[in-house]
Structure 1
Amino acid sequence: VFQFVHGKAGEAVRTVRVPVGTGISGSVAKYGVPLVIPDAQKDPRFNGKIDEKSNFVTRSVICVPLKREENIIGVLQSLNRKDGSTFSNQDLSIFESLAGIASIAIENAQLYTVLNQRLQQLEEAKQRNEYILNQLRRSEEETEKLKELSESRGAFSGKLDVFRVENLVQMLGNDYKTGKLTLKDDSEEAYIYLQNGKLRHVQLKNRNISGLNAFFETICWQDGEFSFEDGITVGENTIDKMSMSIIIEGLRRLDEYNVLKEKYPQDSIPKLNPDIDINQLEDINKINILKSIDGNKTIKDLLWVSSYDRYTFFSLIKELDEEKKISF
């Protein structure tokens, strides 16, 4: 692709792609050998289509490779000397010197871009880690209240805007509790079963989600009520990981979910791209969501009829949006 162009025909060819090995510049890009051509029209490698597109007449050409070490990263080319003469060996020497300088500048620019991207990734990772650490640091007041509730009687209850799900599970784990933690938000219930402080099974009442995905769903609940019944057991065992590692992963998902829900408000209505053939897709998760989109359902409606936790659902919506399979 012509990245940097100068001259009257520059804008006309800026987006033109020249395959490696095609045309004069493509030949230089493939073989790495400089070319000085006095009459391009008579050269068998000349590609006249670019002249047609730009209404330009190419006569003489000088083209040299841009190299970094042994790698060819592009070409530097000039057409038609202003005085009408052909390019000389002296011009070639000057051009090769310019190509060396340009190659270094291009590599430095690429390294600068990569460095900036890496720094941004590190900053985002730092912010996520700080968020998770802050969530894991329960306040002394909250800890004391939880302990008082737990020690006062086998069953206790409260509000999720006061006691977060991850804090409840962590406290019950520290006390090696066995029992059933019931969570209720405005439209759903969840049942979390623990045995000797370890997560064993999680089930949503109204949606077909269980196990880890059900637990990750409850991490996103910021309002509602909870109650704990001591001694309740369950036969199912859908979770076999350490509770703390699950909580940390849940908080990471919560952090990303909070960003995604701002980008895709729950009252927004996605629409299918009419050019997409759902039957040609391979990702069953994306297919399931696309089949639910009818132009009337909001994001909240689609989430409710899906079998995905909120983080997974919004991540799929983001991918479908970026892939231009849906629009808003």
Structure 2
Amino acid sequence: MAFALLKPAYHDVYPFVDPTKHLKGAAAGKSVLVTGAGTGIGVSIAECFALAGASTVILAARRTEKLEATKAGIAELAPNCKVIVAGTDVANRESVKKLFESLDHVPDVIVSNAAASRDEPIIDSNPDVWWNQVDVNIRGPYLIARTYLRAARAAGKKGGRIINVSSNGAWRVYPGLSAYSASKSGLDTFTEHLDVECVKDGCGVRSVAMHPGGVLTEMASAPHVPEAIKKLLIDKPALAGSTAVYLSTERSDFLMGRFVNATWDMEALEGFKERVLEEDLLKTRVIGVA
């Protein structure tokens, strides 16, 4: 395989992506919107951007009590960062519309992290539960991206970054996780289309799909998740958060429109920059088809 050398290298924050060291100030003056910011990975993403100097962090999720806890945590870590709590259902068009209408500015960075997963064999699955995962995992990022781009255009704002939190489940087969895997695979392809369209449009917004690593989140801790999978979830959520900060910087431009694994060594990945661009790597393709 083209990238056999790029194996998982880290399970926690390391110096190159540390928001308090190498990436200190990387988000200075920026406004960052994070969905699914009430638990696990979303909390760490919000915290890392705050630590990297973001002026404003907007927390979006359905459970506002969870968001208030995230807000309190950020206040301790980065007291100068303004934190906005926004109760939002990312799969609901009106809810997403109200989210952006409630803001007095257009964010600089969007991190679509909200997700849904349920372990059910297709034959025994509940169609409503199955489809809800698709709604949250692909309709949600679509609605967020669409509304963001339209808000930016209306405001005459150029530039920006969209980070869609994907999964290695997008290209691996886990029996019982058909809805989750299919929707994450769709999210990767959607992200590629999103980036290409924005480049063509000239709006300056770039997009990337990021696997956050194997994190034992609240969702992954649910009883229906097989123990065999839980044992593989050894990565810290802060690794995803710090990698998201890196992906919001200009030095990661060569990765836009692609799939990135947060457990990879980003500094080593930069060494493959020319190869990634020349061979158009890290994208979803069918092997063996001309």
> Is TM > 0.5 for Structure 1 vs Structure 2?
no
Structure with the larger RCO, 1 or 2 (CA within 8 Å, 6+ apart): 2
Q: Which has the larger radius of gyration?
A: 1
TM-score by length of 2: 0.26
